[in-house]
Amino acid sequence: MSIKAISKNESTEKLFARRGTFLKLIRVIAYRQRFIDIKVHKLEMKGILSTSELKKPTICAVRLVQRETFSDEIAILKSKGIIQGKLTPLKPILDSEGVLRVGGQLELSELIYIQKHPILLPKYHHLTNLIVRDQHLQLLHAGTQATLNIIRDNYWIVDGRNVARNIIRKCVTCFRAKQQFPTYIMGDLPKDRTVFERPFKHAGIDFCGPFFIKEKKYRNRVKVKIYAAVFVCFATKAVHIEIVSDLTSEAFLACLRRFFARRGKSSDLYSDNATNFKGAKREIDELHQYLKNQTNIDEISQHVANRDRVAGHFIPPRSPHFGGLWEVAVKSFKHHFTRAIDGRVLTYE
């Protein structure tokens, strides 16, 4: 793509500042280039922008920014082939398109070219801010580390951690949703937390909600409450989430059966003192006594009768810090869910 698609009298900072998102910026440059191709090169181009048309403006925008911010480094690299300065540890190189990339030490790896040599971007440039903000929104308002990890698949930002942190701090949605929680001094971890077992053999569970869904997919329908059951593995900290229709013991037992069918049966389940958990434990105990009765073993299959029971454990009343493992999982679920839904009412599906 020719750089002439952008006016010589228009600086990149001024052009980029008028675009609210990275996608809008790329589409504006792509339509400018299409206009030039139609008027100058007499090409027939209609319809929506293709993938190739959107790929070229990205390289064009990056090249323009690099020529403004890294002009001295690019000139030295073309003349001497090596840079002495703050970019020296990155071993920058110029590719065939004139884009400055990180050289690094991954040339012999099996990664793709863009991951071996990510594009070098300056800190606190508006294009850099647009890219960070775009990835932050695509990841459902993820934190600094998660956002930076995804960005580094394609770009390497100078002082990227501080750049990503400053952008995320200015996110209004994250600021409104973030709450301050008290911190507690932790005691010794339970034995089930320190012994490695298969996933979800020892698990903790907690409910969060309520959340509202529509009775049907049409507009102006009755809102129905639902809840989310969050299961956390003690060994791997893996998280499994199930939707529960209400807070009855029957609904929880149905949720528990779905969880066991997907992840395997647990030997120990830990939870707080919610009444539905206690009611479910009583029903499980009655079911276990039923299966242990010799007169009933003949009526059901042998493998169901010989299954181990699920041991239920409850933390002390009014002591949520005893269940910190699943409380953290609930916090993480709410963090992404509230930002992704943003007040919309969904259907059950």
| CATH code where residue 260 lies | 3.30.420.10
Long-range pairs for 238-241: beta carbons < 8 A, 24 or more residues apart: 238/199, 238/200, 239/329, 239/332, 239/333, 240/200, 241/333
- Split into its structural domains, the chain has a count of 2
Report the percentage of the chain scoring pLDDT > 70: 82
**Domain check: are 63 and 26 in the same one?**
yes
For residues 1 and 56, the answer to whether their CB atoms sit within 8 Å is: yes
Higher confidence at residue 128 or residue 7?
128
Q: Is residue 98 part of a domain?
A: yes
Whether 12 shows a pLDDT value over 70: the answer reads no
**Domain check: are 63 and 198 in the same one?**
no
Q: Is residue 160 part of a domain?
A: yes
Q: Which of these three, 150, 175, 200, is where a domain ends?
A: 175
The confidence score (pLDDT) of residue 166 equals: 93
For residues 322 and 315, the answer to whether their CB atoms sit within 8 Å is: yes
**Domain check: are 126 and 49 in the same one?**
yes
The confidence score (pLDDT) of residue 292 equals: 54
Contacts of 173 (CB under 8 A, 6+ apart): 141, 339, 342
Q: Is residue 209 part of a domain?
A: yes
* pLDDT tens-place string over residues 301-330: 333 334 446 677 777 776 676 778 888 898
The confidence score (pLDDT) of residue 283 equals: 60
Q: Is residue 164 part of a domain?
A: yes
Task: Quote the domain boundaries for residue 92.
Answer: 3-175
Q: How far apart are CA 260 and CA 256, in angstroms?
A: 6
Whether 147 shows a pLDDT value over 90: the answer reads yes
The three-state DSSP-derived secondary structure of the chain is: CCHHHCCCCCCHHHHHHCCCCHHHHHHHHHHHHHHHHHHCCCCCCCCCCCHHHHHHHHHHHHHHHHHHHCHHHHHHHHHHCCCCCCCHHHCCEECCCCCEECCCCCCCCCCCHHHHCCEEECCCCHHHHHHHHHHHHHCCCCCHHHHHHHHCCCEEECCHHHHHHHHHHCCHHHHHHCCCCCCCCCCCCCHHHHCCCCCCCEEEEEEEEEEEEECCCCCCCCEEEEEEEEEEECCCCCEEEEEECCCCHHHHHHHHHHHHHHHCCCCEEEECCCHHHHHHHHHHHHHHHHHHCHHHHCCCCHHHHCCCCCEEEECCCCCHHHHHHHHHHHHHHHHHHHHHHCCCCECCC
**Domain check: are 123 and 23 in the same one?**
yes
**Domain check: are 162 and 197 in the same one?**
no
Q: Which of these three, 148, 175, 202, is where a domain ends?
A: 175
For residues 82 and 64, the answer to whether their CB atoms sit within 8 Å is: no
Q: Is residue 348 part of a domain?
A: no
CA 271 → CA 47, 239, 276, distances in Å? 56, 15, 11
Rg (CA), the chain: 28
**For range 101-127, the mean pLDDT:** 88
**Domain check: are 75 and 31 in the same one?**
yes
The confidence score (pLDDT) of residue 291 equals: 43
**Domain check: are 16 and 67 in the same one?**
yes
CA 251 → CA 135, 150, 245, 312, distances in Å? 38, 39, 6, 17
The confidence score (pLDDT) of residue 138 equals: 92
The confidence score (pLDDT) of residue 64 equals: 87
**For range 205-223, the mean pLDDT:** 81
**Domain check: are 153 and 197 in the same one?**
no
**Domain check: are 331 and 224 in the same one?**
yes
For residues 200 and 231, the answer to whether their CB atoms sit within 8 Å is: yes
Q: Is residue 77 part of a domain?
A: yes
CA quadruple 170, 173, 176, 177: dihedral, nearest 10: -120
**Domain check: are 244 and 122 in the same one?**
no
* pLDDT tens-place string over residues 21-76: 888 888 888 888 888 878 777 677 777 777 777 888 888 888 888 888 888 888 88
Q: Which of 228, 254, 244, 214 is nearest to 338 (CA)?
A: 228
Q: Is residue 346 part of a domain?
A: no
Whether 294 shows a pLDDT value over 70: the answer reads no
